[in-house]
Amino acid sequence: MESSATLLWGLFFGSFGLGYFMYGKKQKKLMPFISGILLMVFPYFISNPIMLVILGTTLMAMPYFVRL
């Protein structure tokens, strides 16, 4: 059973993922596009809130550090 923290963090990262996805698609930039897809999908597979925050924060920072 998922905790409310996991659901809220999943909603938070999914919202940022949608923003990255739309930005990457419109600007034709690969890294925000891929990061957006991953941010929308990965909360379905991780149930530990701490791991969710660590991975989500890493995926949110990827477009700033990796230029594709």
Residue 32 clears pLDDT 80, i.e. is over it:
yes
Domains held by the chain: number: 1
Model pLDDT for residues 41-66, shown as the tens digit of each residue: 999 999 899 999 999 999 999 999 98
Residue 20 belongs to what domain range?
4-65
> What does residue 3 show for φ and ψ, rounded to 5 degrees?
-85, 165
Q: What percent of the chain has pLDDT over 90?
A: 87
Question: What's residue 3's pLDDT?
Answer: 86
Q: Give the sign of the dihedral formed by CA 30, CA 31, CA 36, CA 41.
A: positive
On whether the CB atoms of residues 43 and 14 are closer than 8 A, the answer is yes
- What tokens appear for 50 in the block? 């701490």
Contacting residues for 29 by C-beta, under 8 A, at least 6 apart: 23, 63, 68
